[in-house]
């Protein structure tokens, strides 16, 4: 039996726990998710090292999964645009059962390896694409079908599973095993197995974005200020990076369409907006490098 499916021996009487003990038990088990991701850090590092150059060369991030794993992939990809201004068309997700499966389980969809192959192939994968294949069991047919299509096209494949020696990790070019073990509620991989996948995806995509110069220091400087909250955040980030007062930061941001990177270079180098944009282009989007060019 898979580790993720094996009944936990620690909490056989879970249904009899008082609420406070039940809550403490469920929370405490989540720390095992963190430990599993930490143990996989070398594999995650290798994945980032392999993926970043391909994405920098124009590749896409493509997430593939079923059920909880698939939904976590959708979430990670969707959040890249507001966080890093990453183009929607370069963060794609395939979920067994289609878009409707995001909100309602589509029974049997995960068992269709042929559909996984066809869905991935329909995206016309290229050599610079990075395909993240998620399966807690590590053997979901839909995901393995997509893996075959990605490998056939020469895309980089990264298999993420929660069981050792899982097919998706073994057959992918790079495998990441998040060995979270039995769940408190036996077999419910939406618990710590899902948490570990969320952490791993956050880490991989965020590290890639840092390598693509989407961050200055530890500041999120390539965000989209699409609402009042994000406008305030853009002003705060610009002030923090430059030491400018609120009025000056807001004024410059208004002139450059609230692009924090540009505002930082304008204020720190005291150059016109056009010059700041040219410096950033010359520095391949790196604020730090652009400041050194002036």
Catalytic residues: 79, 110
Neighbours of 202 (CB within 10 A): 15
Rounded distance, CA 70 to CA 80, Å? 16
Whole-angstrom CA distances from 93 to 64, 110, 122 are: 6, 15, 12
* Cα dihedral 186/189/195/198 (nearest 10): 170
The C-alpha angle 81, 82, 86, rounded to 5 degrees, equals: 25
CA distances from 281 to 114, 129, 290 (A): 43, 23, 8
CA dist., res. 136 & res. 281, Å (int): 41
CA distance 114 to 39: 33
| Ranges of H-type helices in 137-259 | 141-153, 167-171, 192-211, 228-242, 246-255
DSSP state string for 5-62 = TSPPSS-TTGGGS-HHHHHHHHHHHHHHHHHHHHHTHHHHHHHHHHHHHHHHTT--EE
Confirm if 134 and 73 have CB atoms less than 8 A apart: yes
Contact status, residue 197 vs residue 163, Cβ threshold 8 Å: no
Interatomic CA distance for residues 59 and 130, integer angstroms = 7
């Amino acid at each position: 039996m898979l580790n993720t499916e094996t009944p936990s021996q620690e909490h056989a009487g879970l249904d009899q726990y008082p609420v406070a003990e039940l809550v403490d038990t469920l929370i405490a088990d989540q720390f095992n998710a963190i430990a599993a991701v930490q143990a996989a850090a070398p594999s995650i590092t290798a994945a980032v090292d392999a993926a970043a150059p391909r994405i920098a060369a124009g590749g896409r991030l493509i997430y593939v999964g079923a059920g909880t794993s698939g939904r976590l992939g959708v979430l990670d990809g969707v959040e890249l645009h507001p966080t890093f201004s990453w183009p929607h068309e370069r963060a794609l997700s395939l979920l067994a059962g289609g878009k409707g499966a995001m909100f309602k389980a589509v029974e049997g969809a995960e068992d269709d390896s042929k559909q996984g192959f066809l869905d991935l192939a329909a995206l016309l994968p290229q050599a610079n694409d990075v395909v993240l294949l998620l399966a807690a069991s590590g053997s979901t047919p839909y995901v393995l079908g997509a893996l075959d299509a990605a490998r056939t096209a020469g895309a980089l494949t990264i298999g993420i599973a929660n069981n050792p020696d899982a097919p998706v990790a073994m057959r992918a070019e790079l495998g990441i095993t998040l060995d979270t073990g039995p769940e408190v509620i036996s077999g419910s991989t939406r618990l710590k197995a899902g948490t570990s996948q969320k952490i791993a995806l956050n880490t991989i995509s965020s590290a890639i974005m840092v390598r693509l110069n989407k961050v200055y220091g530890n500041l999120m400087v390539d965000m989209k200020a699409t609402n009042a909250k994000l406008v305030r955040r853009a002003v705060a980030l610009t002030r923090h990076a430059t030491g400018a007062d609120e009025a000056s930061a807001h004024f410059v941001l208004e002139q450059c369409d609230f692009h924090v990177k540009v505002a930082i270079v304008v204020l720190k180098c005291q150059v016109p907006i056009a010059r700041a944009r040219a410096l950033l282009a010359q520095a391949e989007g790196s604020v730090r490098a652009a400041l050194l060019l002036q």
